[in-house]
Amino acid sequence: MSLTERIGLAALRLVDPETAHGLALRALRSGLAPLPGPVTSPRLATSLAGLDLPNPVGLAAGFDKNAEAVGPLMRAGFGFVEVGAATPRPQPGNPRPRLFRLAQDHAAINRFGFNNDGMQAIAARLARRPAGIPVGLNLGANKDSPNRAADFAEVLRQCGLHVDFATVNVSSPNTERLRDLQGADALAALLDGVMEARAAMEAPVPVFLKIAPDLDAAEEAEIARTAMAAGVDAIVATNTTLARDGLQSPARNEAGGLSGAPLFERSTRILARLRQLTDGALPLIGVGGIGSAEDAYAKIKAGATAVQLYTAMTYKGLSLAARIARRLDALLVRDGHANVAEAVGTGTEDWL
């Protein structure tokens, strides 16, 4: 990390987290952040559900909710970028404060509640994005929607032309009863609607499903079966957790979803179980607690084709993506892998 980035991070920690986040996005748009371009090598090049990634390190949804800084983010070292979540109509989300740093735990708690500018504004911005690495959109539902399941398909219909993949997000803990849509019957019906919307697209895009980390073994198996039956192209494991085990920070009891380092083991074990449940037939994207190349590599060995990060950048800067990708390349060399795909699932048993 450069001295400039260290100073910038220190300055951002002097203001409240949500204001700091807005300032970080403004710095990106202004060209004040490190933008090395996509980091790649023959070893890092990855195929994910038909998408060609220069490296397997992606940006998770939530960092750029409204697709305001897509161009700069595409040049920040990531192999792919996910924006959103987008809902059909704009909504303000939950009252502030709704984002909390847990510095002692290298974590964060948020209860944003799908605050965003709505699918039309987001689609317009995505339509203007430059060519480059794959960009996807996290699909959400309006809090007061009479038919939340239909909202996901509606956002895909509006925005699908402008993205390379879409992620169905039924796992956020911050919209009341949203996680109820992870039940087998409700999820199957929701995915049927999304897949129908995709089939009607001129150029259909891969559809991913993002799940919660707070499921029991039976629920995990049920979701895996439902996702595969629906024809989902990948599962994203996982979203934030409601668990609060072992936290030290003063804000540890705030309501919302916990992300960051404390989520690493929980999300990685779910990843490994999904690898086993799907018998490696469905690509998995590992999310939760990644703060180093070693963490990313552990997710890959547990079964992830690609990974995503977000919270760790709060503490380690935007340049973390490029640093992880470069170090991951060295780890692949060390272990004699010609590419990322050779390492996927080689350590699944360690997490079961």
Around 6, how many Cα atoms within 13 Å sit in the side-chain half-sphere? 3
Question: What digits encode the pLDDT tens for the residues 175-206?
Answer: 877 778 888 888 999 999 999 999 999 999 99
8 A C-beta contact, residue 82 and residue 167: yes
| Partners of 208 in the β-ladder | 167, 234
What's the token pair of residue 138?
A: 């996290």
Confidence (pLDDT) at 171: 80
pLDDT at 280: 96
Please tell me the predicted confidence (pLDDT) of residue 214: 94
- Comparison of pLDDT for 176 and 168, the residue scoring more: 168
**pLDDT tens sequence across 227-269:** 999 999 999 999 999 999 999 999 999 999 999 999 999 999 9
Which pLDDT score is estimated for 228? 97
> What band does 13 get if pLDDT is binned at 50, 70 and 90?
very high
- The residues with which 236 forms a beta bridge, in sequence order, are 210, 285
Whether 332 and 343 have beta carbons less than 8 Å apart is answered as: yes
At residue 207, the pLDDT reads 98
Which residue in the list 41, 47, 172, 319 is annotated as catalytic? 172
Is 172 in the active site? yes
Q: Average pLDDT in the 116-136 region?
A: 98
Range of the structural domain that residue 267 is part of: 3-351
Summarised one tens digit per residue, pLDDT across range 324-338 is 999 999 999 999 999
The pLDDT of residue 176 is 74
Q: What is the pLDDT of residue 181?
A: 82
Check: CB of residue 262 under 8 Å from CB of residue 289: yes
Work out the pLDDT band at 34, boundaries 50, 70, 90.
confident
The residue type of 332 is L
User: Could you tell me the CATH number of the domain that includes residue 149?
Assistant: 3.20.20.70
pLDDT band for 32, please (50, 70, 90 cuts): confident
**Residues in CB range of 54: below 8 A, 6 or more apart:** 38, 39, 40, 44, 45, 79, 133
Q: What is the model's pTM?
A: 0.97
How much is the pLDDT for 165? 98
Structural domains in the chain (count) = 1
Mean pLDDT within 101-121: 98
